[in-house]
Amino acid sequence: MRKGLLLLVFLCTAFIKVATAAEMDHLLQQQSQFSAQITKIEASSGEEALFIEDVLRRKNGVLRESIANLVTTAPDSEGLKTLIPAQATMLQALIVHADKQSEQLFKEARNASGAEKAEFQFLAQQRISSIDIYYTELATTFTWAKTLNLKLDDSGFKQDLQQRSQILYDIVIYIDSRKKALDERMTYTTEADKPDLETQVVALAQLQRFLLASMNNTVTLMSDFGLDVTDYKQTLFAMTGDINADVLDVNVAMGLFSQWLDSFKDWAFDNSPSLLVKLLVFLAILWVTRILSKIIANLVKKSVSHSKMDFSVLMQDFFISIVSKAVTFIGLLIALSQVGINLGPLLTGFGVAGVIIGFALQDTLSNFASGLMILIYRPFDVKDLVQVAGIQGTVSHMSLVSTTVRTLDNQTLVIPNNKIWGDVINNMTSERVRRVDMVFGIGYDDDFDFAKQIAIKVLENHDRVLKHPEMNVRVHTLNESSVDLIVRPWVRTDDYWDVYWDVTEEMKRQFDANGITIPFPQRDVHIYQTEQA
């Protein structure tokens, strides 16, 4: 039985090897045919060349999927040592051919006009897209070779990546300068010429976006191969404004800061003769802004404090603070623009800083959101007696991130808003009238009707106990050691503790004067004595 199993395993293994060998022969045949197609593509032109190349690219994609599978499942296969170098050679030839074609198409686009120019530009963009695909596949091929310890020289590939990124960089910068020149020309051209200029600007912007996407792909490949891409990433960020992980790179961030510092130095040098005047204008705008913010804050305060608005004190303070700070911020931006600072990069920097700070201060943002919810739903207001987050006290003031509570023993506690909004909020002074709940125990031998009359008389004699709603004095519980009376008068909220303490004291005094006992906890113990046998 054991010999039969071993024979079966041997036969299965042999069959798998035969199948793998047959598959490898088929792949090698395909690769040989594809490599031969390169000469045919270079000898053809026009639609014929594009058709042959498209078929080759599609079929080669299927071949590469098989190679990727073999790299994972059968890395020791001898055929891979032939397939992978052949793939690298073929892709390099395709890149050279596509580069020549794209260069020719761009040249023809520059010399053409109208619809013909747009057609040539579209074909050139297609060629660039195919080049990006070839570069990505070639990078994957070198990765396969590294995985299988095959010696493939990738130094030329790295040089090509650097050269391609530099060319794309130069073209993108040139297009950007052309766009700025057209934008400047738009300011003084006639209305009849503006549509043509706008069409040119749109076409340049579209081409620039396409080239930036290709440049981003090339820069990503360079980064994977350990090449320096700091300058290119700075350009990509400056022109696209896309916020990604590259912004957090130290070199990129330092480069952006260096560019900003250089532009600031150039600005200071060019404007040094009028710098003092601009500084005075800057300070004057800030001074006017400060006065204006106070005036507007007072107007907003009068508006939101109007009885018809029905805003809480916290909401009023929030509106006043926001309006004052908004006026100050706008004034600061106006002052900066008057001294010649370009607000575009500055606002972009604020956006980047906001994202980074947002990630670092997630808890603070949670407090901010909770503060907004408290302001909107108004569970409490300033000077309300509340119990929040296990703390009892009076609300002193509130910001968007925290609430300050002063406890009854005059301690000041600052509580994060998310702890308040995420817990039960007990507002003890939101209603004008409150009920004071008290319980008094008397002995079982005492007359509870007489005790009730004493309690009612004590409440009637207190000037702060309200007549309506009516008080409630009842026998509540027959406890183990006492008969409990509930005494529940209604009072104004501000008089709650005064009534509580006064009634408690007077009840003790009247019970003692009228012989009503307040018993201690007691238990009857019965002892039985039995005779000894």
Average pLDDT over the chain, rounded to an integer: 78
Across 82-91, 220-229, 354-363, 471-480, the highest mean pLDDT is recorded for 471-480
Alpha helices, H only, 305-438: 313-338, 343-360, 362-377, 417-421
Quick one: average pLDDT of 299-319?
68
Across 179-193, 396-410, 458-472, the highest mean pLDDT is recorded for 458-472
User: What pLDDT, on the 0 to 100 scale, is given for residue 48?
Assistant: 80
Which string of b and e fits 415-432 if b means at least 16 CB within 10 Å?
bbbbbbbeeeeebebbee
pLDDT of 435 above 90: yes
Higher pLDDT, residue 1 or 392: 392
Quick one: average pLDDT of 159-165?
84
DSSP assignment of 380-402: --TT-EEEETTEEEEEEEE-SSE
R_g (Cα) of the chain, nearest Å: 42
Higher pLDDT, residue 311 or 75: 75
- Measured between alpha carbons, how far apart are the two ends of the chain, in Å? 87
User: What pLDDT, on the 0 to 100 scale, is given for residue 328?
Assistant: 83
User: What pLDDT, on the 0 to 100 scale, is given for residue 363?
Assistant: 65
pLDDT of 13 above 60: no
Higher pLDDT, residue 200 or 11: 200
The per-residue pLDDT for range 461-494, each reduced to its tens digit, is 999 999 888 999 999 999 888 999 999 999 998 8
The pLDDT > 70 percentage for the chain reads 79
Distance in angstroms (rounded) separating the CA atoms of residues 159 and 222: 10
Higher pLDDT, residue 8 or 102: 102
User: What pLDDT, on the 0 to 100 scale, is given for residue 473?
Assistant: 93
DSSP assignment of 166-211: HHHHHHHHHHHHHHHHHHHHHTTS-TTTHHHHHHHHHHHHHHHHHH
Quick one: average pLDDT of 109-121?
76
The per-residue pLDDT for range 186-223, each reduced to its tens digit, is 777 777 777 777 777 787 778 878 788 888 888 888 88
User: What pLDDT, on the 0 to 100 scale, is given for residue 507?
Assistant: 92
User: What pLDDT, on the 0 to 100 scale, is given for residue 108?
Assistant: 80
Quick one: average pLDDT of 76-94?
83
Mapping DSSP to helix (H, G, I), strand (E, B) and coil, where does residue 427 land?
strand
pLDDT of 171 above 50: yes
pLDDT of 358 above 50: yes
Q: For residue 149, what is the DSSP state?
A: T
Report the Cα 202 to chain-centroid distance in Å: 32
Alpha helices, H only, 403-447: 417-421
Reported confidence tier of residue 340, pLDDT bands at 50, 70, 90? low
Residue 70: count of CB within 10 angstroms of its CB: 22
User: What pLDDT, on the 0 to 100 scale, is given for residue 148?
Assistant: 83
Across 81-85, 300-304, 345-349, the highest mean pLDDT is recorded for 81-85
Mapping DSSP to helix (H, G, I), strand (E, B) and coil, where does residue 518 land?
coil
User: What pLDDT, on the 0 to 100 scale, is given for residue 252?
Assistant: 54
Please report the beta strands in 417-532, taking only residues with DSSP state E, as ranges in sequence order. 426-427, 433-435, 438-442, 472-478, 483-488, 490-492
Quick one: average pLDDT of 358-362?
55
pLDDT of 142 above 70: yes
pLDDT of 238 above 80: no
User: What pLDDT, on the 0 to 100 scale, is given for residue 5?
Assistant: 46
The pLDDT > 90 percentage for the chain reads 12
The pTM of the full predicted model, rounded to 2 decimals, is: 0.46
pLDDT of 248 above 90: no
Distance in angstroms (rounded) separating the CA atoms of residues 121 and 185: 24
